């Protein structure tokens, strides 16, 4: 039995040595053979140099290095595409998800005979109230809008078996929302509860801008309801327009002398209908943009180098 540990890395020179140390300590306590598959996502610091030194000393360390930064989800995708394990664990390099929890995941997988064991955060240290609040409600809103139900308070930290790995490798979407795709595939999926820690060192790789983009990818990938909402907003705006036109007509008939057409109402109507139109066009544009990315059929990532693979 081979266990693959997939770890995406981007500018993690301050933490990557400690990540390797703790992962290795955990792996030495299990009976499985293992590989530590680090995916260097175009790091601009010494991450690749440190990983190369580790790979020269330890054949368990395997490296995929991208030609540039393609993003976290592409790095995880590359790890799943290239891992050899019967089981695989996806874990970030920042040590917020403790490597020791992998032992609990393996135990749950054995007992439950599960295809997926996903980490559920009971507690999240070192994160702002804003991030905690937005993360909490994002998954709940996504579940309301999507046809697929996703576990809440989870990330990409999870254990997956070969059925999930092979199934994932047959999916050819370009803008992947990986935790959503794993849920979509089905099979038996069970939770593993743990406490998420602060980053060991370095800075978060998910600022607000990237969080919003990631949320949009998840929403567009698993829900057509925004399109339906655009249709209903159009219907609502037409009804409001008809009601307003009828009100103006009645006012002019009942009080023709006192009725004065004001610029305020005209401006209000222009702003309202203009906003509805722009919002609808924006929603359509996001879906069309996703289709455009799929139609170009560019690779999700380009591998510049492989070490020990």
pLDDT tens digits along 194-240 = 887 765 555 655 555 666 666 666 666 666 666 667 667 767 776 77
Cα 144–145–151 angle (5° rounding)?
Answer: 55
Distance CA(87)–CA(83), nearest Å, equals 9
Cα dihedral 117, 121, 127, 132 in deg (nearest 10): 110
**CB burial of residue 262 (10 Å; 0-12, 13-18, 19+):** exposed
Q: Which token pair is 93?
A: 């390099």
Q: Where do we find the tokens 């995941």?
A: 105
H/E stretch holding 239 reads helix 225-254
What 205-211 contacts at long range (C-beta under 8 Å, 24+ apart), as own/partner pairs, is 205/10, 205/11, 205/72, 206/72, 211/131, 211/134
Cα 107–179–120 angle (5° rounding)?
Answer: 45
**How many residues are there in the chain?**
309
Cα 293–165–34 angle (5° rounding)?
Answer: 125
Q: Which token pair is 238?
A: 């037409």
What was the pLDDT predicted at 228?
67
Residue ranges in the chain modelled with pLDDT below 70:
124-150, 152-153, 198-228, 230-231, 234, 238, 241-242, 245, 248-249, 251-252, 255-265, 267-268, 271
Q: Which token pair is 151?
A: 């576990």
What was the pLDDT predicted at 292?
73
Q: Are 53 and 78 in contact (CB under 8 A)?
A: no
DSSP 3-state assignment of 4? strand
Residues whose CB is less than 8 angstroms from the CB of residue 69 and which lie 6 or more positions away in sequence, other chains included: 10, 41, 42, 43
Looking at domain 2-206+299-307, which of 1.20.210.10, 3.90.1150.10, 3.90.550.10, 2.60.15.10 is its CATH number?
3.90.550.10
Q: Partners of 39 in the beta sheet?
A: 8, 64
Q: Are 163 and 88 in contact (CB under 8 A)?
A: no
Domain boundaries, the chain: 2-206+299-307, 225-296
What was the pLDDT predicted at 31?
86
DSSP 3-state assignment of 301? coil
Q: Are 84 and 2 in contact (CB under 8 A)?
A: yes
- Kindly report whether the global pTM for this prediction surpasses the value 0.85: no
Q: Residue 16 CB: number of other CB atoms within 10 A? A: 28
Whole-angstrom Cα Rg for the chain = 25
Q: Are strands 61-66 and 303-307 parallel, antiparallel or unpaired?
A: antiparallel
What was the pLDDT predicted at 219?
65
Q: What's the half-sphere exposure (Cβ side, CA atoms, 13 Å) at 194?
A: 23
């Amino acid at each position: 039995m081979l266990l693959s540990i997939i770890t995406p890395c981007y500018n993690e020179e301050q933490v990557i040595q400690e990540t390797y140390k703790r992962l290795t300590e955990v792996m030495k306590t299990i009976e499985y053979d293992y590989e530590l598959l680090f995916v260097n996502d175009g790091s601009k610091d010494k991450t690749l140099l440190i990983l190369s030194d580790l790979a020269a000393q330890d054949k368990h360390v395997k490296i995929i290095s991208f030609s540039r930064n393609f993003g976290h989800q592409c790095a995880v995708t590359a790890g799943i595409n290239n891992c050899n394990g019967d089981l695989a664990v996806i874990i970030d390099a920042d040590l917020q998800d403790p490597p020791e929890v992998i032992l609990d995941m393996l135990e749950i997988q054995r007992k439950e005979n599960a295809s997926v064991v996903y980490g559920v955060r009971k507690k999240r240290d070192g994160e702002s109230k804003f991030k905690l609040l937005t993360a909490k409600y994002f998954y709940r809103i996504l579940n309301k809008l999507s046809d697929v139900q996703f576990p809440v308070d989870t990330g990409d930290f999870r254990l997956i078996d070969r059925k999930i790995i092979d199934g994932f490798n047959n999916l050819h979407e370009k803008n992947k929302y990986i935790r959503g795709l794993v849920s979509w595939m089905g099979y038996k999926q069970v939770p593993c509860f743990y406490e998420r820690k602060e980053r060991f060192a370095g800075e978060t790789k998910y600022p607000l801008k990237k969080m919003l983009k990631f949320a949009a990818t998840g929403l567009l990938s698993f829900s057509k309801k925004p399109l339906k909402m655009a249709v209903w907003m159009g219907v609502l705006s037409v009804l409001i327009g008809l009601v307003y036109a009828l009100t103006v007509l009645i006012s002019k008939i009942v009080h023709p002398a006192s009725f004065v057409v004001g610029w305020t109402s005209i401006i209000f109507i222009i702003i309202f209908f203009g906003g509805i139109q722009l919002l609808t066009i924006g929603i359509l544009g996001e879906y069309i943009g996703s289709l455009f990315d799929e139609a170009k059929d560019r690779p999700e990532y380009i591998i510049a180098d492989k070490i020990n693979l």
